[in-house]
Amino acid sequence: MLVERIEAKWIESFKDVFRQCAVKPGEVVAVLSETQSRPVLAELSELALQQLGARVFQIRLVSPPVSGVPIRSTGTTLAVGGLEPVVAALAGTGMVVDCTVEGMLHAPELPRILAGGTRLMMISNEHPEVLERTKPTPELRERVIRGIKLLAKSKVMKVSSPSGTELKINVEGAPARGATGIVDKPKGVGYWPAGLCLCFPRPGTVNGRLVLAPGDVNLTFKRYIEAPVTLVIENDYVTRIEGEGLDAALLRSYYEAWNDREAYATSHVGWGMNTDARPEAMMMYDRAQINGTELRAFGGNFLYSTGANETAGRFTACHFDFPMRECTVELDGARVVERGKLSKEML
């Protein structure tokens, strides 16, 4: 088991990322964490920011109570809990470094925080070694921006795989987003590990069959698929979960526990662009040491997710991310991913 301690090389990694985020001497930066956060991430952030000359303060919140179904992989921390003094303090900074367990990406307080002109860099709840390996780079940023622009002007995304996936998504008018890992503009949001192009489809635009094959990932469970699972998707919603193995049984059980139709709906779709991220990485760490965000970003994966989708007006706390290998992803007939490999245009 790897040790979580301060390493000089990790301070340098954090400094490199914060430099790319345009942190300047004298800039006021808040490091946000909670009692269940990985302490080493907040400590590394503080040390790196101080060495860059920033004026740093930390806000450490109490992790909220948990009841009923365990919640994972949502990008929505509940730790802020609408506390206005916390929102005001964060909004008054030049940058917020988010080290909460689930992250502020979809937190309800985020728009008010950004309205003050700050920017937010979300550091996923990973062991520092994962972050060291998957640092954002200017080259990755350029690739992701190119992918976002292509997605934004496309009308139809088609996804297929040798295992039987056949998915059609109308992406026209769906907000195209991406994770470059670098945030250097006011009101911007970034996260690390990064390298993902995606969109949140409009209502009634996703149809087909998604076949999770052995080696694909149920990231919410931090589990590689071992037996095939087929998701039948009709007008955005998973209407059937087919499969005889444990993977299908666990999926059915967790979805049913929410008793919420919106839990079955499409959240976002996209593909990974980070060639430093590794699809087999979860095999190398104890489950407690990682959040698994790297698996969303590895180059050439297709990512299908269910859960909240603001574009479609759907909200739920249940969220699944399914990074898939061996898929072909086409935008208006042009292949951006072919059999799990990025096209030349995406490299």
Which phi and psi (to 5°) does residue 192 adopt? -135, 125
Mean pLDDT, rounded, for 42-52: 98
DSSP strands (E only) in the chain: 28-34, 55-61, 95-98, 119-123, 156-160, 166-170, 176-179, 189-192, 196-199, 206-212, 217-218, 223-224, 229-234, 237-242, 266-272, 302-306, 320-324, 328-331, 334-338, 341-342
With CA atoms as reference, report the closest residue to 169 among 201, 196, 197, 147.
201
Q: Which two tokens stand for residue 125?
A: 């709840």
**Topology classification of domain 8-123:** Rossmann fold (3.40.50)
Which residues partner with 334 through β-bridges? 331
pLDDT band, very low/low/confident/very high, at 69 (cuts 50, 70, 90): confident
Domain ranges for the chain: 8-123, 135-178+193-346
Q: Which two tokens stand for residue 218?
A: 């149920």
pLDDT band, very low/low/confident/very high, at 1 (cuts 50, 70, 90): low
Which tens digit of pLDDT belongs to each residue from 162-217?
Answer: 999 999 999 999 999 988 999 999 999 999 999 999 999 999 999 999 999 999 99
DSSP 299: T
pTM of the model: 0.93
Q: Which two tokens stand for residue 312?
A: 């479609």
Q: What is the pLDDT of residue 347?
A: 84
Rg (CA), the chain: 19
